[in-house]
Amino acid sequence: MAEREVDRSVSQTVKAQLALRDQILSGSLRPGERISELQAVETTGASRTPVRMALVRLEEEGLLEAIPSGGFMVKAFSERDISDSIELRGTLEGLAARFAAERGVSARELEPLKECLGAIDELLRQVPISIEAFSSYVALNARFHALLTELSRSPPVIRQIDRASALPFASPSGFVMAQSALPEAQQILIIGQEHHRVVIDAIENREGARAEAVMREHARLAVRNLRLALRNRTHLDLLPALALIKTATD
């Protein structure tokens, strides 16, 4: 195999894992489809050992499912699986927010969150919001949630939230926001931003219960949003994870 170009800067396992996850979330690999190791070796450029390690990681991550007779298939999710995952994440984030509030955080630790908040405010001020701004929002929002999670200072909770985020926050590289969905999405984003503000305030004032409650409400908003999107077939691009929902034909 002299023709293989090996990139030594990052481990083959990680490279394969990223490539495969991208293929799954972008829909190149359809739900229920069996993953061929050989094919994965070709598309990722790594050899079978790292590919298998990546497959094991993705299975543990919940994106793949082991086939009893051997090998892995892309896991198929129902609409309720996705909505449950969102609520699950909200519940865990609620716990994280409560921990942060109860344990107390310094002004210094809250600073990056407030900056994030300000940056999002800036973006949402545009009416209607542009596609570029929306993309920035997606990144900023993810950052906000990650920072909030960290604020709990609880490694087990942080870890668990990371694992619960695969579905609700799936963001493959091919992510594009549909133009027509922007105004409706912006409305939702504005409400969500209000939640963000409340949780920060609650944490600052060490109101654990309030911090927890608002994150749960935040998740419920996301669930309602998901339902609406599916029913109206609008702004589906908002949630890349929808690619993983098993269709009626399957």
Partner DNA sequence: TGTATGCGTTATGTATACAATAGCGGGGAG
Partner DNA sequence: CTCCCCGCTATTGTATACATAACGCATACA
Q: Is the bond preceding 68 in cis, omega lying within 30 degrees of 0?
A: no
Pick from 28, 150, 65: nearest CA to 99: 150
Query: Which one, 59 or 184, has the nearer CB to its own copies?
Result: 59
- Contact status: 52 vs its own copies (CB under 8 A): yes
Q: Which two tokens stand for residue 11?
A: 């481990």
Give CA angle at 162 (156, 167), nearest 5°: 140
Q: Which among its own copies, DNA, none contacts residue 163 (Cβ within 5 to 8 A by kind)?
A: its own copies
Minimum distance, C-beta of residue 59 to its own copies, in the bound complex (Å): 9
Contact present, 92 and 160 (Cβ < 8 Å): yes
For residue 38, the partner it binds in DNA, its own copies, none, with Cβ less than 5 to 8 A by kind, is DNA
The two beta strands, 34-35 and 64-66, are unpaired
Query: Is residue 11 a contact point for DNA (CB under 7 A)?
Result: yes
- Residue 157 in the binding site for its own copies (CB under 8 A): yes
The answer to the question of residue 37 lying near its own copies (CB under 8 A) is no
Query: Positive or negative, the Cα torsion across 160, 166, 167, 171?
Result: positive
49 binding DNA? (CB under 7 A): yes
Say which residue the tokens 């098993």 belong to.
246
18 binds its own copies (CB under 8 A): no
* Binding status of residue 38 toward DNA by CB under 7 A: yes
What residues make contact with its own copies under the rule CB under 8 A? 49, 52-53, 56-57, 60-62, 77, 80-81, 84-85, 87-88, 91-92, 94-95, 99, 154-157, 159-160, 163-164, 167
